[in-house]
Amino acid sequence: MKHNFISIIFLFICLISYSQRKELDQSNLNSISEFTIDCIKNNDSSSFLKLFDFSLNEDVEDKVAVKELLLSEFKKANFFFKNKNVEFLKYDNLDALAGGQVIDNTSFNIYTKVDGIYYKLRLTNHQISSNTFFSFYFQNYSKECEDFEKKTYRPIFSVSCPQLNWDKNNTTSFENVTIPVLNLSEYEVTEIKIRLTIENLIKQTIVMSETFTSKVQIEPGDLGKIYLNELNGFKPGFIILEKNFKYEIKLLEVLPKPTINPCAKIQSLLTK
């Protein structure tokens, strides 16, 4: 009898808990946001998968791998959300890397706060007509902000220094040395720091490895140039022909840091 009573109490609690779950209105983005959070808190991956259509991205062939990644990110989010008071802050559809480079405007982003820490839930390839998505990523925005403030800004995928140019008529010393800079980021570049390494292929020795900082003004989408006047007259000890040496240009830092970043986003959430 006592066992039956306990079972009834347990069933009653389960029914109350279930009745408090968020229902999904897939035509409403607020409902999708709350439903997503609710699924994560309650570790309900089966319901969560209703939001996704793995045929949305035809370029990706391995749909099983996408689903596994999604569920892995879901599990990560559940670890931080379970048994917690999750505050839903807002949603938007502009996605960017921590450094500030815009990826696309097709992601659906849900911003939340748990125990004073800000998180972003990113659902990709938003199909507006059906409000379905392709994949899911969980981001600790507070950690990204902390990293952004500590680390130098190195947008290696959007700012590139592809080659070293010099006066080919002089084979004993470097003259008129320049490095083209392609700025494919969304922001103007005003200062750039690189490390140039030159190796003597004949002796297999490094003859130079130095850091250079240059003031520039390169608008988004433009091709600029670094002038390495410090190298004028530098004699490497070999005949300066491309077969005799190789070089490496490593991007170390770009200024200014973009204003669109995790820290700025958190500030906007504070003033919502």
Answer yes or no: is 59 within a domain: yes
Task: Write b or e for each residue in 196-234: b if 16 or more Cβ atoms lie within 10 A of its Cβ, otherwise e.
Answer: bebbbeeeeeeeeeeebebebebeeeeebebebeebeeb
Stretch among 23-32, 101-110, 120-129, 205-214 having the lowest mean pLDDT? 101-110
Helix, strand or coil for residue 79?
A: helix
pLDDT tens column, 57-102: 877 778 888 899 999 999 999 999 999 999 999 998 876 544 444 4
Answer yes or no: is 166 within a domain: yes
* Global model pTM greater than 0.75: no
Domain that holds residue 239: 159-255
pLDDT tens column, 220-266: 889 999 999 999 999 999 999 999 999 999 999 999 988 778 888 89
Answer yes or no: is 262 within a domain: no
Please say which residue of 100, 129, 151 terminates a domain: 151
pLDDT tens column, 145-183: 998 888 899 988 789 998 999 999 999 999 999 999 999
Please say which residue of 88, 123, 151 terminates a domain: 151
Residue type, 133: F
